[in-house]
Each structure stands twice: as C-alpha cells, then as structure tokens.
Structure 1
C-alpha cells in the first residue's frame, strides 16, 4: 500500500485536493479532523480560570485557542503535546484498517507534514500550491480569518518554497478545480504505475 503525504500552506487548496483524491478512490485521513475529535481534552488542559480569553459563555472557543497558540510558542507546544499523540494514533488506525482492506493507495492530509516530521510516515509527499495573493484572498474569505491571523499562520508554517523543495511532487491549484484534478490524477497514476503523464507546470513555488 502506498501512503501519500498531502500538505500545503494556508488556503493553497489542500482540502480540495483531499476531496478530489477521495473521489478518485484514494482514502484520505485528515489530521485536522482527528484533532477536532480530541477537543474534549482541551478544557482540562486550558481551564477557564487561567485562560478566560479563550472562553465564550463558559465554552472553550477553539478558534480563540488557535489564535493563542499562534502568538505564544509555549502554549502552542502545550497544545501540540496534547493533541499530536491522538492524531498519530488515529493515523495509525487508519493505515492498519486500509492495509487490511487491501487499499492500493491512501493519503494522510497533514497541514504541518514537514514541520512535525510526519513525512517520515509516508512513501511520497505532495505539496498543493497557489499564488500568494490567491491564498490570501481565499483565506480572508473564510469566517473568522483576518489579515493578522493569516500572517500568524504564515509565520508559523514552513515557507512554501521550502515545502516544495522537500516534496516529491508539487501540484498547483491556482488554475481551478479541474486543473487540480488533472494534476492529481497524473500523480496517482504515476504512483500506482498506471500513468506517465506530465504534472502541471507553474507550481508557484
């Protein structure tokens, strides 16, 4: 079974790429979804008495916690130490399940693939890219995202150019969903030895 590591900078089109891979029959595990599933652990680690700014009407606001982690490296480390083991365990269960089911290929969607060393878990890596102006516009169109948050996420993540240099494959999303789908189809074909076509040019790295 081939395991593909899927990543990309904020609003590069990684989630769209994951959905397209699933439509092609490639099971995809989302690290963000696994992290959300572990959210019940957060209130004990970040109690309201100590962190009143991240609570709204008595309930922990995950977006506020994310902003705190982006601006405070110590809190980011605490959050990661709490959540990452649960994400890794979920990834391991996913891989075992699909290997037993006879899957030819699966993908791990991990926003911080290289930053967390998760690239060591996969056979090949792909970075989805888009021009910086387009990524910024996409990000600012999302609820709760402003220019400051976008800048904070960009500062925390590995530069896109560095990701591209480390990746085995780079697929651009700037030309639209159809072009992204074609690029991913070629990639899947290459990895499963069914296709030898060229990947799209101009990956914006």
Structure 2
C-alpha cells in the first residue's frame, strides 16, 4: 500500500505557519502539529509530565507542565534545553508515526514542524513548504505577542535557521505577507499542484 505524500511545513517565528496549517486542514489535508502535540502531552495527565518534573523539579503541577516556569529554566541554557529535548522529541516522533498510520489512506498529510531544518527533519518528508513573510511584517507580528520583547525575539531568531536559508532550501514557498485570501488561494493551488504531480 502506498503511503501519503508527506509535506513538511515550516517557517520562522511570526511567519504565519500556524495559519497556513489551518488552511491545509480546511482544504481537507490532515495536519500533524508538533507544537500542539507537545502541549497535549504536557497538559493535565500528559505522558511527559512526570519525566519533565523528574528532570526539572517544580516545573509542573496538577495542570501539567508550567510552561513559563519551564521556559525560564531552559532559556539560554543549551545543556538544559538538550535535556528537555531528549524527553520531548522521541515522544513527538512516536505520536507522528501513529498519526501517519491513522491517515495511511490519504493522498497527502502535513507535518507542521517549526524546527524542520534545525533538527534535521527535512530528511523525513517528501516535500518542504516554507512559510515566509517580509522581515518587517514578521517583527511586527512577533512583538505584538504578550510578554514578547525585542531581546527575546532576537534570541529566538538566533536559534533558528535564517529565513533566506529556509527559502533557498524549500521546494515551495507560501508568502503570508499578502492578504489571508491570497495566502489561502496559494495553499489550495499548491495542493492541486502536488496532487497532479502524484498522478503523473
């Protein structure tokens, strides 16, 4: 049995990746959202809560992982971040595998992975789609977020592959510097294009 074409959807902070993922879902393409899965696994009764509490005492309570508290423990500490990723990443990979089995009958699925290039995930997908926007649009979006500062934004950018590099390595680019309707049309056009290629 053939498996679905796997679209790797990625983009730097503030580029509109989550919005584009929703557009794929509205078009009927199943989306595995890595961030959403992490939030679920770190929520009340989540499978990662005990392991994270053991590694980072005081970072959880009955509601699950206290993301702000955990963030302060790992922010700027590469060793701590690596310990957290060693807990989270294998669990995400397992959930992604289960998602692929669940949607084996689809012609395509989307893996929404923020750090696709940073963590070497591009090898596990068939098509890489990068969501991008002009730098000034990105900055305006990010700095409008609660508790975001220019310093925090700069630090996050320093951990991510630059947008220009992502665009150069992409198979397709979705520009979100346009209107929402134009972006959604670009997504639907891309889906049609990928379907026509798969039939060749």
Q: TM-score, normalised by structure 2?
A: 0.86
Compute the displacement of 1:129 (Å). Answer: 0.3
Do 2:6 and 2:125's aligned partners in 1 also have CA atoms closer than 8 Å? yes
Determine the structure 1 residue equivalent to 2:68. Answer: 63
How many residues are matched?
187
Alignment of structure 1 residues 1-205 onto 2, 5 Å: 1-39=4-42, 40=49, 41-48=51-58, 61-99=66-104, 102-193=105-196
Cα deviation code 1:34-71 (max 9, x no counterpart)? 112232132221013xxxxx689x98531342354341
Ranges in structure 1 where 5+ consecutive residues have no aligned partner: 49-53, 195-205
Q: Give the secondary structure class of the aligned counterpart of 1:108.
A: strand
Preserved CA contact (<8 Å) 2:53 2:60: no
Change (3 A) 1:140 1:68: farther
Query: Structure 1 residues 27, 137: CA separation in 2 closer, same or farther (over 3 Å shift)?
Result: same
Compute the displacement of 1:162 (Å): 0.9
Cα distance in structure 1, aligned partners of 2:163 and 2:128? 14
Partners of 2:160 and 2:73 in 1: CA distance: 15
TM-score by length of 1: 0.84
| Aligned mates of 1:63, 1:159 — CA distance in 2 | 26
Change (3 A) 1:67 1:119: farther
Structure 2: stretches of 5+ with no match in the other structure = 43-48
Distance 1:190 1:140 in 2: 35
Write out per-residue CA displacement over residues 143-201 of structure 1, whole angstroms, 9 at most, x where no aligned residue: 2322222111101011111111111111110112111111111111111007xxxxxxx
